[in-house]
Amino acid sequence: MTRVLSVTSECVPLVKTGGLADVAGALPAALAGQGVEMRTLLPGYPAVLAAQADADPVRQIPDLFGGPARILRGSLGGTVLYILDAPHLYARDGGLYLAPDGKDWPDNPQRFAALCKAAALIGAEGVDGWRPRALHLHDWQAGLAPVYLRQLGVQDVRCLLTIHNIAFQGIAPAHLLGALGLPAQLFNPQGFEYWGKISALKAGIVFADKVSTVSPTYAEELLTPEFGMGMEGVLAARSADFTGILNGIDLDAWTPPYQTPAGKAPLRKALRTEFGLPESDGPLCVVVSRLTGQKGLDLLIEALPVLLDGGGQLAVLGSGDAGLEIAFRDAAARHPGVGLRLGYDEALARRMIAGGDAILVPSRFEPCGLTQLYGLRFGTLPLVALTGGLADTVVNASAAALAAGVATGVQFHPVTVQALSRALSRLCALWRQPAVWDRMARNAMAQPVGWDASAGAYADLFRAMTA
């Protein structure tokens, strides 16, 4: 049994801001059947401690970046969870990364360096009678762990860094070198220095044994200036050790309450009622997303008349950019075929995916994406941009794919208003061919979107790393 410690800043069902939490929550159980014992290390945010009130202390750390800390042992489903209880770093109101004023916590470098240092200590000395052979490091928040392992002289613990979104790089000012306990000799272009500053993500890319990201296409995109966000050269230097492994979803947690697409009918009707939408002969499209430019939702606002003119409707759940919130609010006020709920509601999101006919994901970049996987699982046809994991998971309704009976959704490229408008027009045209739409929805529901294949790829990687 290969022992792996997953080091993550968020994890369902305890704390979540994005897809990272879903992956970190699902992988330990998925890997258990692959001969990998994965335990998880998570910061002791108030919500985590409240949910794990019976967690037992298994290690004391007298001074961890400004105060004492403990490692607690709790549980994550049927697997072990370690909690870094450091009140001076985590016991505060606000978000995981953002203060109540909406800005980054000023001590974020220390908060997540502490997570990395705790992971390195577990790697070096073990905890609770258990010592990992590998660390699975998620995003920049875990990126400094290989540096701390090196400082501790550990040579028999391997590191895999998984990049979930390269837009977040953990940049800190150079004057924090001493405060973070980082070696000055590694503060150079070949180390973790990045334009005169410290980059925790670059540290992980450079010093981890292997680097992965969450889809094969995103791995290719990250090697280009368009998507690499300044890290393309660093990743290119690690290309022999860099791979893309597609995310999956928890099939038990995401099981449709119907066996065939026909079962959507009452749920579609209920969803229209919930959003105040009239009956319509067109497809009911849903968006469950952060309202940001990355997600391409400004393009959807401009292309919206094409969907509405084609008989389609739109139900939106999300929040984010103030300008986009206003734009969708205005669209809902002007058009009876548009409904909006600002904020996030997990139960409503599930009702939307179950009752919608199509789910729109027009992202400018999307490392993997999970909403299109939920859409496939529920026969809610994804309309997606041809990028990242969206390109890897949706079979476009091209003439060839339709003729072969294998299409599962609609893709568009380039990511422009014009291309999205054409895709929405195609979607409405497909809806007017009930037999074709039904075949696509059945294909979608039959797609393998669980963790089996991906968990096997991770298990193979961990075994190769620790052999």
- Are 86 and 44 in contact by the 8 Å Cβ rule? The answer is yes
- 397: burial class by Cβ within 10 Å (0-12, 13-18, 19+)? buried
Q: How far apart are CA 396 and CA 354, in angstroms?
A: 21
Indicate the fold that domain 261-446 takes in CATH: Rossmann fold (3.40.50)
| Whether residue 414 has a cis bond before it, omega within 30° of 0 | yes
pTM (2 d.p.): 0.93
Q: How far apart are CA 126 and CA 367, in angstroms?
A: 33
Strand 56-61, strand 69-76: pairing: antiparallel
Check pLDDT > 90 for residue 279.
yes
What is the band of 102 on the pLDDT scale with cuts at 50, 70, 90?
A: confident
**Residue 204, Ramachandran bin (φ over 0: left; ψ between -120 and 50: alpha; else beta):** alpha
Q: Give residue-wise pLDDT tens across range 53-96.
A: 999 999 999 999 999 999 999 999 899 999 999 999 999 999 99
Q: Give residue-wise pLDDT tens across range 350-368.
A: 999 999 999 999 999 999 9
Residues in CB range of 370: below 8 A, 6 or more apart: 19, 22, 247, 249
Tell me, what's the pLDDT at 253? 87
Which among 372, 369, 366, 364 has a CA at the least distance from the CA of 414?
364
Which among 6, 256, 282 has a CA at the least distance from the CA of 132?
6
16 annotated to bind ligand: yes
Domain chopping of the chain, boundaries: 2-248+451-466, 261-446
Tell me, what's the pLDDT at 440? 98
Query: In this structure, how many other beta carbons lie within 10 angstroms of the beta carbon of residue 78?
Result: 8
Mean pLDDT of 231-255: 96
Check pLDDT > 90 for residue 257.
yes
Judge whether 2-248+451-466 and 261-446 match in fold: yes
Across the chain, mean pLDDT equals 97
Judge: domain 2-248+451-466, CATH 3.40.50.2000. Answer: yes
Tell me, what's the pLDDT at 18? 86
Check pLDDT > 90 for residue 119.
yes
Mean pLDDT of 122-129: 97
What is the rounded radius of gyration, in angstroms, for the C-alpha atoms of the chain?
23
- Are 317 and 348 in contact by the 8 Å Cβ rule? The answer is yes
